[in-house]
Copies of this chain bind each other. A is one copy, B any other.
């Protein structure tokens, strides 16, 4: 009659949780280190250069870039600093807006991106795509959506 109110996960759920997080993490690291060895880029560098490569003039306002790749501004600032030191991008004050900075991929940056791009995509296929069936893709897609949707409302609910 009295149904036990379960406030904490079962052992099984906890195991699945940990496997989920851990697997995603390991996969990310693997991809990252392959990218690194093939093109001397980190995943962060790659995301930045990818966004720039799709922008007119290989150029974006820092704030737009941040929005595109969904990074905090401070994180982007730090990262751009590091990338600038390695000559992958340049930052120039933005004409027409006193604040605001244009981020531009240098030739070096574009080369590195081109070099890394195909091997990186191939690695995604090898490490991720090749491991799953079409049904599993659909399931995973639904799961990610569900989790993200839940995240969005969670702070208020319960």
A37-72 interface code vs B (CB 8 A; 1 in, 0 out): 000000000000000000000000000000000100
A35 to B131, CA, bound (A): 33
Contact flag A27-B137 (CB < 8 Å), given A8-B121, A125-B9: no
- How many copies of this chain are found per oligomer? 2
In the complex, chain A residues 109-158 whose Cβ is within 8 Å of any chain B Cβ: 118, 121-122, 124-132, 136-137, 139-151, 154, 158
Number of A residues, CB within 8 Å of B:
50
CB <8 Å contact, A17 and B147: no
A74 at interface by CB-CB < 8 Å: no
CB <8 Å contact, B23 and A122: no
